[in-house]
Chain A
Amino acid sequence: MEIGLMFAILGAALAIGGGGIGSSMGVGIAGEIAAGVVAEDPEKFGKTLLLQALPGTQGIYGFLVAFWVILKVNLLGGVLPVSPEAGLQILFACLPMAIGGLISGIYQGKVAAAGIAMVGRKPDEVGKGLIFAAMVETYAVLGLLMSILLLMNIQL
């Protein structure tokens, strides 16, 4: 396999790996607290589930970037030739999503967990909890945006 393609695949792997780790940690942190709240009051399942789902998006963004790379190099069809330079460019273009997704997923999970604890005491405030968590997600969205814009403009 040529080195350029290997770099590109590494980029895709980092994007989905970073986003996936961030999301799984974030969803995990939020889920632990949610289970505690639901143990006290099963009626709050719906509201806590909404908050738990929020840190899950980094994984999806990472998947999206990885898939974009796959389409870019046509990995599922006849693979396009990827020069080592282009491969490295793709790898670097994936990093905003990989790093941004990893870190923001964890912190968003913490904020979502705090929001879930808030719902435990004040069930009507779920909207505010969602918005607090969405503030963190901004940086995953910006990472995704940058990765996509970079990928779009890379010439193989």
Chain B
Amino acid sequence: MAVARMQKLQIFILQKRTREFLAGLQKLACFELSNTSAVAVPDRALRYQKAVDFLAALFPRPRGFIENFIQIKPVIKEAQAGMIMQKEPLLILRQLEKLQADWEAQAGLARQLQEEIARQDLYAAYGLRRARQAAKLKRVKVIFGQVPRKALAAEMPPLAQDHRKDDGDAGAGAGYFIQVVQTTENTACLQLLCLREDEAALRDSLPGLGFQEISLPLQAREYRQESLRLGRELKKTRDRQAKLKNKLRSIQAAEYAKLAVWADYLANAEQVDAYTRESSATAQTSLLTGWVPVAQKKQVLDYLEKFSDALYWREVEPDAGETPPTVLQNNLTAPLETVTALYGLPHNREFDPSPLMAPFFIVFYGLCLSDAGYGLMLLLLAGFLLWKFRVNLTRFGRKLLVLNMYCGVSTIVVGLLTGSIWGLNFELLPWPALKNFLLALKVIDPLNNPLPLLGLAVGLGMAQMLTGLTIRYILDIRELGGWPAFLKSGCWLVFLASIFSYAGAAILGWAAAARWLGYLTGLGVVFMVLTQGRHQKNPLLKLGSGLLSLYSLSGYVGDLLSYTRLFALGLVTAVMALVVNYLAALPGGLAPLGIPVGAVLMVIILIFGHTFDFLINMLGSFVHAARLQYVEYFSKFFEGGGRFFRPFSWQAKYVSLDK
């Protein structure tokens, strides 16, 4: 239950051994280099990466839906990778680079041809004869172009009409003839005729009409024929592309793994090179400074020992203002680190809240999802994903799935206690033994009597708030000493505990206990009024501040009410499950012409409905259970602000290695 202690080390090593040393350190993956932020200069690795990216883009791997949530790389056995590493596939790379250049050239050509064909088709609407005739006209200018059809209807004057202005005011718009040559669904091809002296004025008024000018080239071949010729050329290009693609496909099938392994290997080797270059301190020596978790120090020191003839190392203190990176160390509660990390890691002098949050988060999640059937689905789904993607998963992903398995178990427990298993009605079960067993387990019936579950939600909220305040009090005692800490947070802890106990006793009808707890709460009020204004000098202000401090109670009440969501969300899941079953039963007996349509419909509704209810509430349960930790719990004692420990290690971009 802790933030791991970190040790800063300085290592001086002969430059000629630095590369070898760093390569080993990269495999060790427990030392964060902090004195240099070397960026690898991409060289050979980049060539491989480009080749692999090109193949991956050309032949995309079929992606399952789950890959939207988990990043999955192809898996290669380490032994196979070892064999691949024996010989660099340079010939394949060169061949592939050549084919890639070919492919890109052909693709570019195809694009150009397509664009040209589209242009020639557009020109063909006017025809080459018209273009030639227009070019011959001396006094008249013909402007070809197209407008959106809507603009034609609204803005353009009627067909072939004379719009010559009589008043001679050229600035207000030039006179012109307009002729629609062809219309398509969305656009109209036009030709505008005007006197050459009116051309400038006409052009000024055109952009407002959405007019796009087209200049028809005076070429040797008729537009339509040219378009057909280009089409034939495009087909030839496409054929060449198809042949190339077949060749590339066979390369992809046979050599992708080799290229990907080498891309990853070279990128990591180039990172070692970069650090080797950047860490040189003198003509002969390199300096490496960094952090190691104390628990792994021995491992690093043993490794340093192997280079004892070439290096000197020492432990050093952090620089002024330097904060060590954070590593969380937990065993059973390690999966909860994911929830903490989503909020922010503790800084190095703080403690790790994950274990203190673990029971609350897991129980809250169970209360929100609240159906044993869904709990089982969650448990199995998380277990399946954990097994299926055991090689691909990051440590974070693995912890998250294990956390979901914990939550699955808690959901099953809550579901059994509240009598909800896929919303089944236990009374309809054909096995009396099972029915009686499940009914015996059902201690709370939230649908008929919601108050116990609501009370449980609020009670858990009280427990979590008091735990948070206790932690705050302990931290204050360490920082300020006994009495000041009591005045700051300890008195709030006692005061709230007495209020909660009083409320509890009153609700449960324990009159005597309630009376005494009421006195204690009254005493608490007096104590708070007298002490919480202690920082003021003026006695009246002391009293005023003390009274005002009681206003903080509203915040605590708000926090407490926030826990009622556990009840509401739990009820949503359970009732939605009931509704799904109810809707599924409606077409149950439907069987026109003896075809059991109803039964099929029922199965579809059941599967779809329960899957939907499960998924949407799984998301909600996680988010709301986490929110209660962050807003109502962490706010009492936890600051965060630490940074992740990022050891110098092997970074795989393309393949996951499996042992």
Contact = CB atoms under 8 A, between A and B. Distances in A.
B631 interface: yes
Nearest to A50: B619
B498 to A, nearest CB: 27
Nearest to B341: A127
A50 B343 CA distance: 18
A139 B69 CA distance: 29
Nearest to B562: A138
Contacts of B343: 127-128, 131
B623 A145 contact: no
A63 B579 CA distance: 10
B619 A53 contact: yes
Contacts of A50: 619
B568 A138 contact: no
B69 A46 contact: yes
B418 interface: no
A67 B575 contact: yes
Contacts of B68: 45-46, 49
Nearest to B71: A43
A61 interface: yes
B583 to A, nearest CB: 10
A60 interface: yes
Contacts of B627: 131, 134-135, 138
A68 B565 contact: no
A56 B620 CA distance: 10
Contact of A152 (B450, B569, B620, B630): B450
Contact of B575 (A43, A56, A68): A68
Nearest to B630: A131
A138 B626 CA distance: 13
Contact of A134 (B450, B564, B616, B623): B623
Main secondary structure on B side of the interface with A: helix
B616 A148 contact: no
Interface residues of B, number: 28
Given A56-B616, A57-B616, A67-B579, A131 B565 contact: no
A19 to B, nearest CB: 12
Nearest to A153: B450
Contact-residue bracket for chain A:
20 to 34
A17 to B, nearest CB: 18
Interface of A is mostly: helix
Given A67-B575, A134-B627, A148 B620 contact: no
Interface string B443-455: 0000000100000
B579 A64 contact: yes
Given A60-B572, A64-B579, A127-B342, A142 B450 contact: no
Interface in B335-357: 342-343
A57 B69 CA distance: 21
Contact of A138 (B69, B342, B565, B567): B565
A94 to B, nearest CB: 15
B620 A144 contact: no
A63 B572 CA distance: 10
Given A53-B619, A64-B576, A131 B450 contact: no
Contact of B616 (A60, A133, A141, A145): A60
A152 B569 CA distance: 16
A131 B579 contact: no
Interface in A119-156: 127-128, 130-131, 133-135, 137-138, 141-142, 144-145, 148-149, 152
6 contacts: A53-B619, A54-B620, A133-B623, A141-B569, A145-B567, A148-B568
Given A64-B575, A152-B450, 20 more contacts: A46-B68, A54-B619, A54-B623, A57-B616, A60-B616, A61-B572, A63-B579, A127-B343, A130-B623, A131-B342, A134-B623, A134-B626, A135-B627, A138-B565, A142-B564, A144-B568, A148-B450, A148-B568, A148-B571, A149-B450
5 nearest A-B residue pairs (beta carbon): A46-B68, A127-B342, A46-B69, A145-B568, A134-B623
